[in-house]
Amino acid sequence: MTDLALQTHELRKHFGSTQVLRSVDLAIPRHSIYGFLGPNGAGKSTTMKTVMGLLRPSGGSIEVFGRDTRRYGPSARAHIGYLPQHPRFHPYRTCRQTLLFVAALYPGHRDRRELRDHADELLDAVGLSDLANRRTHGLSGGESQRLGLAQALIAEPELLILDEPAAALDPEGRHDVLEIIEGLRGRTTVFYSTHILEDVQRVSDRVAMISNGRIVADGPLTDLLSGDDSSWTIRTLGSSEAVQARLSSEPWVSSVDVSRRRDSDVWTVRLAAGAPEEQLLPTILADNQLAIAEFHPSDHTLEDAYLAIVGHNNEH
Amino acid sequence: MTTAEATPLPASARSRSTGLTRGLGGLTRAEARRWLPWRTAGFIVLGLGLLAALYANWLIQPAKTLTELLYPFFGLWFALLILATVAMTQGMVASEISQGTAAWVVSKPVARPAFILSKFAALVPIVVVAMVGIPGLAARWVFSIAESEGQTEFNAGDLVRLLEEPLARNDYMPLMDFDVHLGILALMIFLILVAAAAMVLLGCLLRHATAILVAGLMVPIALVVLANVGLDQQVVSLTPAWAMDSMLDGIAGNPVSVLGPSIVATLWTVGLLGLASWWFNRREL
Amino acid sequence: MNAETTRPAIEVRSLRKKFGRTEVLRSVDLEIPRNSVFGFLGPNGAGKTTTMKILVGLLHANGGSASIMGHDVARDSLQARAAIGYLPQAASYWKHLKVRGVLNFTAQRYLDLPRPQLRQHVDETIELAGLTDLVDRKVAKLSGGERQRLGIAEAWVGRPDVLILDEPSSGLDPEGRHEVLSLLDRLRKDATILYSTHILDDIERIADHIAVIDNGSIVAQGSIDSFLVGSTALYSVGFSGPLFGAVEALQTEAWVDAVEPETDGRVTVAVNDRSHAELELLRSFVASGVSVTDFRPARRSLEDIYLEIVGADDDDG
């Protein structure tokens, strides 16, 4: 057995003359929580649908646990739980019946009572226990998404593919979903797309970014977040032009950018290589009237990394 | 997005009107621009279709003269136009409510009655033009054929003669003055406007397009029934059926009263639109 | 300043709303200061959209009152709406219109300007919202993100005093969200902005005031700093090397409540006077010879606070 849960090789897909996937290479290690990021229309949903066999690839290959889906599609899907972006259910089934129906589609036989208990546990985990006996007709967007997550989990698949699992949810719902994903860490491989970078930063251990049908960044989250350490953030109140001017004239300072945020100024100070970092604070404090609310090395957020990578890629 | 700085607005730029009709002009223009090409095209297609049907019928079973064709054309054109108005207006309000565009418009500083009235206002000119223009064009066409076949010495430039000629030549048709024609025409227009106003109200009250269409088709039918069922004249004269009754009288060659029925029909139009505006004003979107 | 210009931009008093027998708003009170960026939070179905729709006059309240720039939304709906630019959750436009057509139509509803000036004004808005390449696109052909940008441009094109935006960043990709947030940030000096969102980070980034609604009642409201920082101000200071008695020196200061050295090379300082702390706290460390590497207010995350407020409320009811 290979240690990759999902691998795509030069995956291509076009709709008519529109190239949606140009060449997508993904290698998703077993038991990783893999965030999939990219602009609207970059190819996230198309990649997932192609892996699920809902779309036919125009070229390239897909392997799920080392088996080519072109030959072993259904048996590959026996290992996957999938949450589409807009899940739809048979309107005449209740939420619990929907889960039992989905479970019956997966191979293997499970005790009915056990399965029912498992379904109720999942409904509870996604916050739908009150609606277990309600028909799926008339569920709200958020409720559909919760049920969609539960049905992806019901067969305890080894690989979960989740297309924007938290998009329609409120903060509490998103918190629940992240907890469920976090709870699967070490047992299940989770490959999920999202637009909310803070969520990715919180639970993912690896990230792939897609732009214009190509993977433009791929790797451990920590690698993406490690920026240059020579940049400092300083937040001050009151006028500070004199200090900024003095700072800019220092040979070991390469740039000072100031932006206004609410009632304070936020400075980003970049130091030249080999700069005496310990001199930065005394230089600023030389102005006795300057009130300083923050002073620390700049935080590197996934948003900075994302905008740098995807923004850069879009310009070409 | 760029960091373009906005030029400041002069204080006078903000519209201050607060009347019940704020936005009526703009909404009516928007509505007219939106539908004018479709409605014009629709009426032309309908007119040509009706004329073609009658002409085909005349070719198979020629009546005495070609110009005789015009008489049923005028009557049928009215019937067709009132039905077309009903069909055209059935989704006008209800679909905007269900698609959310009504909410879009009235979340702007627009008086809600103006939204309703603009639907009607954009309809009036095109109905009047269609009611007068299409039969005029049809008559011109028929006469030019009739003339070339030597059936008449018609002078195409003379609108009065144009309307009188076919009727004067027809043995079965009563001879009418031009004023009577104009009176009948006015009654027809008022009747169509009553039907349009009723459709606007139905669009506010009912949700389903089919229900609105069915209820709307009942309006002209009800007018004909009311006019013919032999109700007390005093009761009939309180309703737009008076206009229908009077119009039918005129066609039958009896004396026509125009002013009274026109006023009653107009009052009904205003009343129906007022009711629709009032209802829409209270409605949650 | 007279009373008229210092009144809140939006005032809502014990607003109630029922749909049939379901009480959607039990009692909503809001006071939204002028030129604030006001974040409106709460679970799905808590009443955010209903409140906003009442303000715009699309729904009628069953009780209580609301006013926009001093105009009662029920009695003077027209004047109230003239002061509002509104972005609904799922905006729909007449399908036959193009992007410029929508903005023209809306601008004309708000402004009495001669044609060339109106056109210039609409062009500015188009540029501001980054819609220049899309002006001749039919609205039916726009993508979700483009539609959302049109919606915000449309809300702003009448230059209203108040923007009411129902989930302006939902459905957008990170770049789109970033653009929308920076656009709102730029508009803050010209308008009061009330917006709802499910993404707490959007609030932390640009809002200066927030309110949390749950089960049809406002359960928390105030300036964002009062939530994130709390009543006692805590600062966290990171350092390298020895502390040289900096702790003892600080403890003698009147504006310091407590100094707690942590185990991870940081010191937490509780102060009772924020402006004093901002002027003197760092200087005091540096004067003692400590090499400070990191200094910031100890903030709680908005998510913790939100879950605390909404969770606690759920337990009660």
Nearest to B2 among C106, C121, C128 (CB): C128
Q: Which residues pair with A238 in a beta bridge?
A: none
Give whole-number Cα distances, A150 to A102, A178, A184, B124, B228, in Å.
10, 13, 13, 57, 66
Interface of C with A in 168-187 (CB under 8 A): 170-178
Query: Is the Cβ pair A196, C175 closer than 8 Å?
Result: no
- How open is the CA angle A91-A94-A98, to the nearest 5 degrees? 85
Give residue B155's pLDDT: 42
Give residue B282's pLDDT: 87
Distance CA B4, CA A223 (A): 36
**Nearest CA among A296, A125, A40, A306 for reference residue A198:** A306
Query: Is the Cβ pair C44, A196 closer than 8 Å?
Result: no
- Cβ contacts of residue B11 below 8 Å, gap of 6+? none
Give residue B156's pLDDT: 38
Query: Is the Cβ pair B106, C57 closer than 8 Å?
Result: yes
Contact between B137 and B47 under an 8 Å Cβ cutoff? The reply is yes
Contact between A175 and C43 under an 8 Å Cβ cutoff? The reply is no
The structure tokens listed for B88 are: 């055209």
Give residue B198's pLDDT: 94
Contact between B147 and B153 under an 8 Å Cβ cutoff? The reply is yes
List the pLDDT tens digit at each of the 316 positions of chain A: 468 999 999 999 999 888 999 999 999 999 999 999 998 888 999 999 999 988 999 999 999 998 898 888 788 888 999 999 889 998 889 999 999 999 988 887 788 899 999 999 999 999 899 999 999 988 888 899 999 999 999 999 999 999 999 888 888 888 889 999 999 998 999 999 998 888 888 889 999 999 999 999 898 888 877 665 678 888 888 878 888 888 888 888 888 888 877 678 888 888 887 778 778 888 888 877 888 888 888 877 778 778 877 776 655 4
Q: Which residues pair with A264 in a beta bridge?
A: A261
Interface of C with A in 33-52 (CB under 8 A): 41-45
Residues of C in contact with B104 (CB under 8 A): 88, 91-93
> Is residue C183 packed enough to be buried (19+ CB in 10 Å), middle (13-18) or exposed (0-12)?
buried
* Minimal CA separation from C82 to chain B, in Å: 5
Residues of A in contact with C171 (CB under 8 A): 167
Instruction: Enumerate domains of chain C plus CATH numbers.
Output: 3-228 (3.40.50.300), 231-299 (3.30.70.100)
Q: Both ends of chain A: CA-CA distance in Å?
A: 40
**Neighbouring chains to B with at least 3 Cβ pairs closer than 8 Å:** C
* Minimal CA separation from C42 to chain B, in Å: 22
Query: Is the Cβ pair B106, C109 closer than 8 Å?
Result: no
Contacts 24+ apart (CB under 8 A), B35-42: B35/B122, B35/B126, B36/B126, B39/B88, B39/B126, B39/B130, B40/B126, B42/B84, B42/B88
Distance CA A248, CA A243 (A): 8
Query: Is the Cβ pair C110, B4 closer than 8 Å?
Result: no
**Nearest CA among A45, A20, A37 for reference residue A306:** A37
Residue that is written with structure tokens 């009151």 in the block: A238
Chain C residue whose CA is closest to A284? C283
* Minimal CA separation from C174 to chain A, in Å: 6
Cα A286 to chain centroid distance, Å, stands at: 44
Distance CA B13, CA C284 (A): 55
Q: Does C141 touch chain B (CB under 8 A)?
A: no
Counted across chains A and C, CB pairs separated by less than 8 A come out at 101
Q: Is B280 left (phi over 0), alpha (psi -120 to 50) or beta?
A: alpha
Q: Does C249 touch chain B (CB under 8 A)?
A: no
List the pLDDT tens digit at each of the 285 positions of chain B: 444 455 667 666 776 666 777 888 888 888 888 888 888 898 889 888 888 888 888 778 766 666 666 777 778 888 888 898 888 888 888 888 888 889 988 888 888 999 999 999 998 888 888 888 888 777 777 767 766 665 554 443 444 444 555 445 544 344 456 677 788 888 989 999 999 999 999 999 998 888 999 999 998 898 888 888 877 888 888 889 899 888 888 777 778 888 999 999 999 999 999 999 999 988 888
Give residue C185's pLDDT: 87
Total residues found in chain A within this entry: 316
Could you report the per-residue pLDDT of B219-248, keeping only the tens digit for each?
A: 889 888 888 887 788 888 888 989 988 888
List the pLDDT tens digit at each of the 317 positions of chain C: 445 567 899 999 999 999 999 999 999 999 999 999 999 999 888 999 999 999 999 999 999 999 999 999 999 999 999 999 999 988 889 988 999 999 999 999 999 888 899 999 999 999 988 889 999 999 988 887 788 889 999 999 999 999 999 999 887 888 888 888 888 888 888 899 999 998 888 888 889 999 999 999 999 999 887 777 665 678 888 888 888 788 888 888 888 888 888 877 888 888 888 788 888 888 888 888 888 888 888 777 777 778 877 776 554 43
Give residue A2's pLDDT: 61
Residues of B in contact with C182 (CB under 8 A): 1
Residues of A in contact with C208 (CB under 8 A): 262
Give residue B153's pLDDT: 46
CB count in 10 Å sphere of residue B86? 24
Instruction: Enumerate domains of chain A plus CATH numbers.
Output: 4-225 (3.40.50.300), 231-298 (3.30.70)
* Minimal CA separation from A276 to chain C, in Å: 12
Interface of C with B in 49-68 (CB under 8 A): 56-60
Could you report the per-residue pLDDT of A135-190, keeping only the tens digit for each?
A: 998 888 889 999 999 999 999 999 999 999 988 888 888 888 999 999 999 899 99
Give residue A228's pLDDT: 59
Give residue B264's pLDDT: 94
Query: Is the Cβ pair C176, A40 closer than 8 Å?
Result: yes
- SS3 of chain A: the string is CCCEEEEEEEEEEEECCEEEEEEEEEEEECCCEEEEECCCCCCHHHHHHHHCCCCCCCEEEEEECCEEHHHHHHHHHCCEEEECCCCCCCCCCEHHHHHHHHHHHCCCCCCHHHHHHHHHHHHHHCCCHHHCCCECCCCCHHHHHHHHHHHHHCCCCCEEEEECCCCCCCHHHHHHHHHHHHHCCCCCEEEEECCCHHHHHHHCCEEEEEECCEEEEEEEHHHHHCCCCCEEEEEEECCCHHHHHHHHHCCCEEEEEEEEECCEEEEEEEECCCCCHHHHHHHHHCCCCCEEEEEEECCCCHHHHHHHHHHHHHCC
Q: Does C261 touch chain A (CB under 8 A)?
A: no
**Nearest CA among A100, A204, A125 for reference residue A162:** A204
Give whole-number Cα distances, A207 to A176, C24, C173, in Å.
21, 41, 16
Q: With H, G, I as helix, E, B as strand and everything else as coil, classify residue B171.
A: coil
Query: Is the Cβ pair C158, B108 closer than 8 Å?
Result: yes
Q: Report yes or no on chains B and A touching (3+ CB pairs under 8 A).
A: no
Rounded to 10°, the helix A112-125/A95-105 angle is 120
E-state strands within chain C: 10-19, 22-32, 37-41, 63-68, 71-72, 84-87, 162-166, 192-196, 209-214, 217-223, 233-240, 256-261, 266-271, 291-297
Give residue B175's pLDDT: 45
CB count in 10 Å sphere of residue A120? 15
Residues of C in contact with A281 (CB under 8 A): 282, 286, 292
Q: Is A166 left (phi over 0), alpha (psi -120 to 50) or beta?
A: alpha
Residues of C in contact with A307 (CB under 8 A): 174-175, 178
**Neighbouring chains to A with at least 3 Cβ pairs closer than 8 Å:** C
- Cβ contacts of residue B235 below 8 Å, gap of 6+? none
Interface of C with A in 7-36 (CB under 8 A): none
